[in-house]
Amino acid sequence: MDEHVRRRPRENEEPRTSLDDFGWALVRELQSDARQTMDALSEKLNVSPTTISRRLTRLLDQRAIRLTVGVRAEAIGYSAMMLVGINTQAGSEANAVASEILSLPGVVTLVLTAGRFNMFCYVGIRDFNGADRFLNDDLARIRGVSNVEVMISGRRPVKITSTELFSVYDPKIVSELGGVVAIDRQLVEELIANPRVSIKELATRLGVQWSTANRRLRTLLDSGGLALSVEVSQAVLGRQIGGIALCRARPGKAMKVAEELAANPHSWGVVTAHGRWNCVASLSFRDINELAHFVTVDLAKMSGLQEHEMLVGLRLVRRFGA
């Protein structure tokens, strides 16, 4: 959130660039620590801070990369995640059903899919009573939902290269915050609304000095309550197809399978879970041939894998902070 990095891209604009060696080096540094200053990046990459700032601004403006700020799910008391596969009734409009589901408390991400389920979503829960309320009260009231299949993930992700799955990007959720994050709700709202806001602009909106705004931001980041992420556009990576692998590992092999999935270059998020499927991987592919190779070759090599099914991602219905 440097002074020079503050212009926002136009909505729905496709990336207009590819990454050269310097661009990739910059992105890798930011993915390892998105809080690095321009001076620190300048020293590591052996270029001037101005060069760093200009390139970063260009990549953001061209939507080659995306900066997101969210509240970590655990910071608002979500002790576990439910992974919910949902089928809709014949004749129901999937987009309308998805919109209603997204309005429910705790829903973090929802993907329209082809395969066993019509949609797949990640839902934060505080306890099992919360899970029961979501499934038997909230979700049950939505017309068009035919049946659901639930998995519970209580562990931290085995792999996560995006904050998307386990962070909340909805300013309305800020009212639920506790702990150190609750001290600065206004600052959190400003950051979620515009992750690229400069410290100077942030200070003006908060009505405080630059040093105060900077200190308050550092406190929030140091507490672990905020998730800061730099993500490369899938279009820049050339990956046009998304997928979710539902995997059932043999007894005692769930973590082994999860680690093998995490090591696969197509995966960007892997969690273990309890339910029919005990490993779930979010993936992306350049084309149908890469997807087919993953299913027929990569998964076939995993000796601990008992069974699997693939969901093809049709559309990520909501991406908080986008």
**Considering only CA atoms, which of 101, 17, 108 is closest in space to residue 57?**
17
What is residue 214's three-state secondary structure? helix
Backbone phi and psi for residue 319, each to the nearest 5 degrees, phi listed first: -130, 100
DSSP class of residue 239? Answer: -
Dist CA 229 CA 321 (whole Å):
11
Task: Say which residues have a Cβ less than 8 Å from residue 283's Cβ, sequence separation at least 6.
Answer: 242, 243, 244, 245, 264, 266, 267, 268, 294
- Total residue count of the chain as it appears in this document: 322
User: Which CATH entry fits the domain spanning 21-72+167-232: 3.30.200, 1.10.10, 1.10.3470, 1.20.120?
Assistant: 1.10.10
CATH number of 239-316: 3.30.70.920
pLDDT in tens, the chain (322 residues): 443 333 333 334 444 456 888 988 998 888 777 778 889 999 999 999 999 999 988 888 888 888 777 777 666 677 788 999 999 998 888 889 999 998 888 888 899 999 999 999 988 888 889 899 999 999 999 999 999 999 998 666 665 555 444 455 454 554 555 554 555 777 877 887 787 788 889 899 888 899 988 888 888 777 777 777 777 777 777 778 889 999 999 999 999 999 999 999 898 889 899 999 999 999 989 899 999 999 999 999 999 999 999 999 988 765 443 3
Backbone phi and psi for residue 137, each to the nearest 5 degrees, phi listed first: -110, -65
Question: Would you list the domain boundaries of the chain?
Answer: 21-72+167-232, 239-316
38 near 54, Cβ under 8 Å?
no
- Position 322 scores a pLDDT of 34
Dist CA 50 CA 56 (whole Å):
10
Helix axes 21-32 and 38-45, enclosed angle (nearest 10): 130
- Position 207 scores a pLDDT of 87
DSSP-assigned beta bridge partners for residue 315: 112
Residue 267: half-sphere exposure toward Cβ, Cα within 13 Å: 25
**pTM here?**
0.73
Backbone phi and psi for residue 105, each to the nearest 5 degrees, phi listed first: -60, 135
Residue 46: half-sphere exposure toward Cβ, Cα within 13 Å: 1
Dist CA 118 CA 315 (whole Å):
11
DSSP-assigned beta bridge partners for residue 87: 147
Residue 321 CA to its chain's centroid (Å): 10
